[in-house]
C-alpha cells in the first residue's frame, strides 16, 4: 500500500531490469549481529512498510506460542530519526506499523511518543516486564539504511534459536492481516501506552548507581563538547550529565538536531575518527574544551577525543575499554562491602576485541569472559551471570560499544559518555589526562597494541572464495601454517567450529555458520581475526600484540604488528586480485 515502493517495482518491470527485480524480490531479510538491517526501498530483502509488517506478524506468532500472558505483559516499540523521501519510509512510520500489527491483535504496546536512544528499548523491556521489544534503527550505517532490532524479555537482543524460529514464523504469514496497515492505531487504541517519561526518569535515576564522584563533578571546571551526529542523543546526554551533577556539555549546533541526511558528515559513524569529528574538534578548540564525546545516531556507541599539547587524540574502542575497565574495577574496589569477593566479579568482551580486560582480570583476581562478536551475545551472557548471583562491572566490543553497569544489557553511548566525563574530571584532580592514564594502565598490565580496519567488497561470492581458500590452503581442509615469514600456532574457525588449540579440535565458542570468521594465533604472540561484517558489505581485520607487564618496547611492538598486518592482507586477502577497496580509499 506504499505508493512510492510500489512505483519502484513497477518502474523496474517497465525498464526490463529483471536482474535487479530478482535481487530485490527473491530473497528475504535475515537476522545479523544487530537484527534485520538493509537499505530502505522496495523488495523483500529491503526495509520497507511491508517487510516490517511481515516481520512483526512473524514475531507476534512466535511470542503468542511462547508466552500465554503476551497480550497483558505487552511489547515495547522505539525508533530513531532516519527517513527516506524516495520510498516514503521513516523510522517513526515503520514503528507505527510495528505497533499497528500488535494493537490490531489486542496486544498492549508501549510506544515511545518521540525518538529515543536504542538502549531505552532493552531498558524498557526489563523495567516494564514486557515480553519483547523492537527498535527501528540502522545505528551508524549510511543514510540509505534502516533496521529492525529485536529484544527478548531478558532485555538482551535475540540470539539463536529465537532468530531462526522467528524467520520461520515470518514465512508462515506473509499476507498482511486486517489492521496491520493501520498506522493510526497508535493514536486511537486504548492499548497503546507512552512509556517515555517513566522510562527516561527511571533510566536517569539508575544511571546514578555508576556515579562515584558527584561532589567533584559539581565543582568541575572541565568543559566537554558533545556531538550527537544528527541523531537522537542530544537531549538524553544533556540529562545524563545533569544526573551526574555536571554542567551540560556544549552541543555542536550543526549536528545536535535530527537530520536523516546526516548532512555534515561523510558517514554517520564516529568510529571513523578525526575526519568525521571535524566540527566538534573545532568547536572544542574555540570553547576551550579538552574532551569531546560523540554518540552515534542512535546513541548506543561512543567515540572520545582529548586535546593534549595542541593535538587531538581520538581513542580507539580498545583504548577506551582499557580506561573503562580500570575505572569500573577501581570504583568497585573503593566502594564494595568488606565481605565482597573479587572472584564473584566479571567483565566481558567480544572475541575480536582487545585482551586488555583479560590482563587486568589476571592481575586483580576477577573473571574475564569472551563471547562471539555482537552485543547480543554479551547481553545474554551477562543476564545469565546476573541470574547466577555474579556481579558484572563492564563489557565491550572494539567497535566503540560499551556497557557500564548492568541497567541496560546492551551497549549504551549515553551512560558511557557521562562515565568518561566523570573519569576525566577525577583524573584532572590527579593532574592526569585520559591519555596519560592509558599509558599507566598499559605499563601496569602490559602493552596491548591493536589495529582494526576493513575492506569493502560488494560481491558475496568473492568473500566466500577468500575464506574457502584459507580453509583449503595447502590442500583440502588444511589451514595455513604461516603467513609470509610469520608462523601460525593455532587456527580457530567459528564458521565451521574448528579450533586447533583444543584437544577435541572443536571451538569452545558457538558455531556461527551464517558469517565468516577465522582467527589466527601467531608464534610471536599476535592474534589476528578476519571476519565479515554482520551489518555492512565489509571484510574486517583485527590484530593485536599483547605483551606482559614490563616486557615491552612499544615502538618495537607497533612495528612488528604493522608488518604482520601487511603480510596478512597480502597473503590472505589479496586485495588487488579480489578487487577489494581499502577503507581509506
Alpha-helical segments (H) within 27-138: 49-66, 70-73, 91-103, 120-128
From the CB of residue 362, how many other CB atoms can be counted at a distance below 10 Å?
A: 14
- Nearest CA-CA partner of 135 in 300, 371, 340, 325: 300
Residues 227, 259: Cα–Cα separation, whole Å: 13
Helix, strand or coil, per DSSP, at residue 241? helix
Is 139 a catalytic site residue? yes
Q: Which of 38, 87, 139, 533 is catalytic?
A: 139
Residues 455, 536: Cα–Cα separation, whole Å: 11
What residues form DSSP beta bridges with 528? Answer: 520, 543
Residues 476, 373: Cα–Cα separation, whole Å: 28
Residues 138, 303: Cα–Cα separation, whole Å: 18
What residues form DSSP beta bridges with 78? Answer: 135
Contact of 103 with 191, CB cutoff 8 Å: yes
Cell triple for 77: 516499540
Burial class (CB in 10 A: 0-12, 13-18, 19+), 102: buried
How many Cα atoms within 13 Å fall on the side-chain side of residue 202? 16
Residues 358, 369: Cα–Cα separation, whole Å: 8
Torsion angle of C-alpha atoms 197, 201, 207, 212, degrees rounded to 10: 160
DSSP codes joined into one string, 139-190: TTS-TTEEEEEEEETTSSB--TTHHHHHHHHHHH--SPPTTTT-TTHHHH-T
Q: What is the DSSP letter of 506?
A: B
Active site residues: 139
Amino acid at each position: 500500500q506504499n505508493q512510492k515502493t510500489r512505483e519502484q517495482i513497477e518502474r523496474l518491470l517497465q525498464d526490463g531490469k529483471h536482474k535487479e527485480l530478482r535481487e530485490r524480490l527473491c530473497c528475504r531479510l535475515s537476522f545479523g549481529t544487530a537484527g534485520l538491517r538493509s537499505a530502505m526501498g522496495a523488495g523483500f530483502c529491503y526495509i520497507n512498510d511491508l517487510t516490517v509488517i511481515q516481520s512483526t506478524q512473524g514475531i507476534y506468532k512466535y511470542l503468542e506460542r511462547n508466552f500465554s500472558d503476551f497480550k497483558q505483559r505487552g511489547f515495547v516499540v522505539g525508533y530513531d530519526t532516519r527517513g527516506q523521501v524516495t520510498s516514503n519510509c521513516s523510522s517513526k512510520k515503520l514503528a507505527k506499523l510495528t505497533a499497528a500489527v500488535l494493537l490490531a491483535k489486542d496486544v498492549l504496546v508501549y510506544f515511545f511518543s518521540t525518538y529515543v536512544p536504542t538502549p531505552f528499548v532493552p531498558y524498557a523491556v526489563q523495567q516494564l516486564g514486557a515480553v519483547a521489544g523492537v527498535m527501528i534503527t540502522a545505528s551508524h550505517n549510511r543514510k540509505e539504511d534502516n533496521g529492525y532490532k529485536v529484544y527478548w524479555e531478558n532485555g538482551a537482543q535475540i540470539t539463536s534459536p529465537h532468530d531462526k524460529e522467528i524467520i520461520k514464523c515470518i514465512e508462515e504469514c506473509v499476507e498482511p492481516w486486517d489492521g496491520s496497515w493501520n498506522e493510526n492505531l497508535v493514536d486511537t487504541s486504548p492499548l497503546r501506552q507512552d512509556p517515555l517519561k517513566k522510562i527516561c526518569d527511571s533510566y536517569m535515576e539508575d544511571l546514578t548507581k555508576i556515579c562515584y564522584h558527584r561532589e567533584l563533578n559539581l565543582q568541575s571546571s572541565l568543559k566537554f563538547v558533545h556531538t550527537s551526529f544528527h541523531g537522537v542523543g542530544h537531549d538524553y546526554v544533556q540529562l545524563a550529565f545533569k544526573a551526574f551533577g555536571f554542567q551540560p556539555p556544549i552541543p555542536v549546533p550543526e549536528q545536535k538536531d535530527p537530520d536523516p541526511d546526516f548532512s555534515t558528515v561523510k558517514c554517520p559513524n564516529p568510529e571513523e575518527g578525526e575526519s568525521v569529528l571535524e566540527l566538534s574538534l573545532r568547536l572544542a578548540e574555540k570553547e576551550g574544551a579538552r574532551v569531546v564525546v560523540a554518540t552515534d545516531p542512535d546513541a548506543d556507541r561512543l567515540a572520545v577525543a582529548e586535546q593534549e599539547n595542541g593535538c587531538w587524540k581520538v581513542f580507539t574502542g580498545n583504548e577506551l575499554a582499557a580506561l573503562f575497565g580500570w575505572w569500573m574495577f577501581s570504583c568497585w574496589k573503593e566502594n564494595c562491602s568488606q565481605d565482597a569477593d573479587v572472584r564473584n566479579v566479571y567483565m566481558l568482551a567480544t572475541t575480536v576485541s582487545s585482551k586488555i580486560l583479560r590482563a587486568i582480570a589476571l592481575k586483580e583476581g576477577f573473571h574475564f569472559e569472551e563471547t562471539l562478536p555482537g552485543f547480543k551475545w554479551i547481553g545474554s551472557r551477562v543476564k545469565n551471570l546476573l541470574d547466577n548471583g555474579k556481579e558484572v562491572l563492564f563489557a565491550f566490543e572494539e567497535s566503540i560499544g560499551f556497557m557500564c553497569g548492568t541497567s541496560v544489557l546492551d551497549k549504551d553511548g549515553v551512560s558511557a559518555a557521562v562515565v568518561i566525563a566523570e573519569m576525566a574530571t577525577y583524573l584532572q584532580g590527579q593532574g592526569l589526562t585520559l591519555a596519560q592514564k592509558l599509558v599507566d594502565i598499559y605499563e601496569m598490565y602490559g602493552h596491548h597494541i591493536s589495529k582494526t580496519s576493513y575492506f569493502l567488497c560488494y560481491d558475496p561470492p568473492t568473500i566466500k572464495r577468500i575464506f574457502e581458500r584459507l580453509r583449503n590452503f595447502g590442500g583440502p581442509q588444511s589451514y595455513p601454517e604461516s603467513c609470509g615469514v610469520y608462523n601460525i600456532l593455532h587456527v580457530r574457525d567459528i564458521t565451521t567450529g574448528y579450533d586447533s588449540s583444543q584437544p577435541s579440535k572443536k571451538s569452545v565458542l558457538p558455531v556461527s555458520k551464517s558469517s565468516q570468521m577465522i582467527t589466527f594465533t601467531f608464534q610471536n604472540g599476535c592474534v589476528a581475526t578476519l571476519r565479515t561484517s554482520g551489518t555492512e558489505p565489509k571484510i574486517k581485520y583485527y590484530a593485536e600484540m599483547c605483551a606482559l607487564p614490563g616486557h615491552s618496547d612499544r615502538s618495537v611492538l607497533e612495528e612488528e604488528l604493522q608488518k604482520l598486518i601487511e603480510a596478512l592482507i597480502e597473503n590472505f586477502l589479496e586485495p588487488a586480485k579480489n578487487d577489494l577497496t581499502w577503507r581509506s580509499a
